Amino acid sequence: MQKRRLGRTELMVSCIGLGAGSRMFMERGYSGPDAPPTVINCALDKGINFIDTARSYYKSEQIIGEAIKGRRDECFLATKTYLRKGSRVEKDIDISLKNLQTDRIDLYQIHNITYKDELRTILQPKGALEMLKKAKEAGKINYIGITGFRPDIMKECIQTGEFDTIQIPFNFIERTQTEKILLLAKRYDLGIIIMRPFLGGLLANSGEAILRFIFSYDVSVVIPGCSTVEHIQMNARIGKDLRPVSSEERESLFSNIGGIFCRGCKVCEQGCPISLSIAEILRWETYLYFNATYARDHYRQHLKKATACIDCGKCEEVCPYNLPIRKMLKTAHQRLMKGKLEDIIVGLLRKLQLYERLRATYFRLGLPLPNRYLSD
């Protein structure tokens, strides 16, 4: 397995890591040849030395902690907190140390920064960053990172100069805006961790080509979700003999990838008589998996609704992938218009500054994160 430098941390991590946010890592009780401890130990045997988890992945930390007994020095552990205020983050770190059965966490990340006020809270006195620096001085953690999906917010995070790594979704389909973030992160010498390389499983059938495409960019480590020994063996094989995609392979990826999902090429929009932002609507539907409230708010406030479609079918006539676009738009609209009550409550809690406190209580009780936040 090839190793790459994780930015200014100077850690040499396997180019493909182990993403431990899949369902089998979230719950106890899995047995047989693909039980989590077997998968984890197979990864270590194959030279995969970067394991990414989170406090919010329910039992994932505990499962990893039990599996790596006696092998702690063979891997770098990365975990995360969803909390933004210092006093509560300190408790999260201690819980993670206990769960992982270790005296140090190699990389501790602030998870899914979505709003500007969250970043302000993190950076202000007694915010999460201040506490993480104290934990670093105390030897509990070694490096501090961030994760998120909004390019504009990730840009602000990078430009603070306060973080050692960045974890962002990047794949063959959704890459245009993220490419600029990769270049900026490289300029600041941040370690670049790529999540959701298979777009939540939609690109899984083209696994090797997709991973090789990502490695044509200057990234540190890719963390696909791994649920079986077979996944590990495939990733290890790719990471051992890593070849970037050729220009011909790159061009053919679009046509070779099957599945009903938007590639973002926007060919369908060129002949749309009402200039509907089809690709944008379908893109925001995928963001429901990152932050449902934000995705729905953006759709309601900033985009012409899919219901404006006049059902002429011209988009489907020109779609290079023969997608049922009209049906997809109706589904996207239904999903993006749901949850109004939930979003109102979240907005109110944020204004009253109670959201952070309730989120801390949620994770302190050990409750599982909703499916939309799971990695692929």
d(CA 363, CA 82): 9
What residue type is 90 in one-letter code? E
Residue 30: both structure tokens together: 């899995």
Average pLDDT of span 88-109? 95
Q: What is the mean pLDDT of residues 164-174?
A: 87
Q: Under 8 Å CB-to-CB from 297, ≥6 apart: which residues?
A: 343
Give the 3-state secondary structure of 101-138: CCCCEEEEEECCCCCHHHHHHHHCCCEHHHHHHHHHHC
The whole-number pLDDT of residue 292 equals 84
Q: Where in the chain is the domain with CATH 3.20.20.100?
A: 3-252
pTM: 0.83
**Residue linked to tokens 């390389």:** 197
Q: Quote the percentage of the chain above a pLDDT of 70.
A: 88
User: Residues 112-134: pLDDT tens digits?
Assistant: 898 898 999 999 999 999 999 99
- CATH class, 3-252 region: alpha beta
DSSP assignment string, 162-197: --SEEEEE--SSS-HHHHHHHHHHHHTT-EEEEE-T
pLDDT band for 206, please (50, 70, 90 cuts): low
Distance CA(305)–CA(356), nearest Å, equals 32
Element (H, E) at 133: helix 128-137
Integer Cα distance of 281 and 259 in angstroms: 18
Residue 50 has pLDDT above 70, yes or no: yes
pLDDT tens-digit readout, 57-81? 878 899 999 999 999 999 999 999 9
Amino acid (one-letter) located at 78: A
